[in-house]
Chain A
Amino acid sequence: MIWEVFRQEKPGDYHTHCGNVHAPDREMAKQFAVVQHGRRKPTESLWVVPQEEVGEVDADEVAFGGTTDKSYRWAMAYTSSTEHAKEVIASQQEQEQAEADRQRGDD
């Protein structure tokens, strides 16, 4: 069986896909994952998931985020003359960053 491996670099991070291992069961898969994926890069935790359990939907099948204008759900669409609370500004900056990343990905 193939097991997809996901690594968490530091506590509090999300687990990211880093490859796979062949193993007959979960215990073996965990052991192989430790050897193949946990030795050199900083690792806090590893997950192993049977490949056939991973469901996928990709950009050919679905337009992520929709195709019509959704700017109503982004903080940047709203302007006002007052100064915003710092957590509102932080949220907007995060959203602007995410939007910039997404657009770079489209280029």
Chain B
Amino acid sequence: MDVETVKERAGPREFSPADDMPEKYRKAATRMIQFHANSEIMGAYLEKPFIRQAPSIDRKLAFSAKVQDEIGHGQLLYRAAESLGIKTREEMLDELANGEGKFLNCFHYPMDSWAEVPMIAFFVDGAAMRRQATLKSSSWEPYAHAMDKVCFEEGFHVKHGEDIMARMATGSRKEQQMLQDAFDEWWPRIIQFFGPTDDKSTHHDFSAEVGLKQKTNDELRNAFLDAYVPKAKSYGLEIPEYPRIEEVGDGQYHVEEDDLDWDEFFTVSKNEYEPGKGQIDARKAAQEAVDWVRDTIEGDANLPGSQAAPAAD
């Protein structure tokens, strides 16, 4: 198939491994899905220490389940990316370990306290769910299929995040202040989740033309703001003065993009932001510590159904 045909046929779930897709499509799809898979792993890596911090048994159970789901989503997504024939899961995980693999901006920043948990678990996951719902219409069928499972499971993630926030928002003055401080710090990063405005985004046009993505960064961002600005307010959070957000229609919000620090965003995107580098390296060290296990089981060719596959960490 040539690229022109791909653009003509592009539609929800239109292409599958049975089709002979041009390299340009396969590389664009791999990049997109790999980024998504990497983000699941790095998000899980960032949140994992908070399983230990959970201040009740039920909360700990939910947190463990959530982090587990993210590893599961990573596994699904690496498979969907592999299906394009450009890279294996092992190669993608190696790239993630050595700093070449890209992932969501939010997961490059440190999380030090429980008050920051809802920032990721409610706002970032809420943003992700908005995006994932639209990706069910992606033209690469294995990716769209993976989104079915992800969307099925993620409802609990967002509600769990909201539950944590609700508890703090209706708690002591100290808790409410911690929550507001965390929100002030994370809000700009959350808005940048959707990437820069489409004029400045390098990959958007082709991905949209071949149906890999349906919505522009701006459309997704505005939809997110429309849903989540009122939610933040309903929990007593004050929206920071910058970046400026104005209501442009009934319940429709628009952010002044120049108020956001895009220099920092691009540094983060290139894996050059220090705390993010720290995350990548720490994860790499943890992966190397269990290399011996993979080596040992790879030698187990005789055990029924055995297959050594690379790690999350």
Q: Do A and B come from one complex?
A: yes
Are A88's CB and B61's CB within 8 A? no
Within 8 A of B (CB), among A39-60: 45, 55
Interface residue? A75 (CB, 8 A): yes
Q: CB < 8 Å: which of A11, A70, A75 contacts B159?
A: A75
Main secondary structure on B side of the interface with A: helix
Are B162's CB and A80's CB within 8 A? yes
For B160, give the chain A residue with the smallest CB separation.
Answer: A78
Within 8 A of A (CB), among B129-157: 129-130, 132-133, 141, 144-145, 151-156
With A12-B141, A12-B145 known to touch, is A88 a contact of B305 (CB < 8 Å)? no
Chain A CB count within 10 A is highest, among B18, B69, B162, for B162
Are B159's CB and A84's CB within 8 A? yes
Interface residue? B166 (CB, 8 A): yes
> A86: shortest Cβ distance to chain B, in Å?
8
Docked CA distance A18–B248 (Å): 55
Interface residue? A85 (CB, 8 A): yes
Docked CA distance A70–B68 (Å): 14
Q: Which residues of B contact A85 (CB under 8 A)?
A: 126, 129-130, 158, 227-228
Q: Per-position contact with B for A49-91: 1 when CB-CB < 8 Å, else 0?
A: 0000001000000000000001011110110101011111111
Are A95's CB and B155's CB within 8 A? yes
Q: Which residues of A contact B158 (CB under 8 A)?
A: 84-85, 88, 91
> A8: shortest Cβ distance to chain B, in Å?
10
Docked CA distance A13–B66 (Å): 27
Q: Which residues of A contact B129 (CB under 8 A)?
A: 85, 87-88, 91
> B286: shortest Cβ distance to chain A, in Å?
25
Docked CA distance A2–B133 (Å): 41
Docked CA distance A70–B62 (Å): 9
- Bin chain B's interface residue count: 35 or more
Q: Which residues of A contact B18 (CB under 8 A)?
A: 45
With A12-B141, A45-B18, A82-B231 known to touch, is A88 a contact of B159 (CB < 8 Å)? yes
Are A12's CB and B159's CB within 8 A? no
Are B144's CB and A12's CB within 8 A? yes
Interface residue? B234 (CB, 8 A): yes
Q: Which residues of B contact A92 (CB under 8 A)?
A: 155, 159
Interface residue? A94 (CB, 8 A): yes
Within 8 A of A (CB), among B36-82: 58, 61-62, 65-66, 69
For B66, give the chain A residue with the smallest CB separation.
Answer: A73
Docked CA distance A85–B152 (Å): 14
Docked CA distance A94–B150 (Å): 12
Q: Which residues of A contact B152 (CB under 8 A)?
A: 91, 94-95, 98
Interface residue? B209 (CB, 8 A): no
Docked CA distance A73–B65 (Å): 6
> B88: shortest Cβ distance to chain A, in Å?
22
Are B163's CB and A87's CB within 8 A? no
Docked CA distance A95–B141 (Å): 22
Interface residue? B201 (CB, 8 A): no
Q: Which residues of A contact B132 (CB under 8 A)?
A: 87
Docked CA distance A11–B153 (Å): 23
Are B227's CB and A74's CB within 8 A? no
* A residues apposed to B, CB below 8 Å: 11-12, 45, 55, 70, 72-75, 77-78, 80, 82, 84-92, 94-95, 98
* B residues apposed to A, CB below 8 Å: 13, 16, 18, 58, 61-62, 65-66, 69, 126, 129-130, 132-133, 141, 144-145, 151-156, 158-160, 162-163, 166, 227-228, 231, 234-235, 304-305
Closest 5 CB pairs of A and B: A91-B155, A78-B159, A75-B155, A87-B133, A73-B65
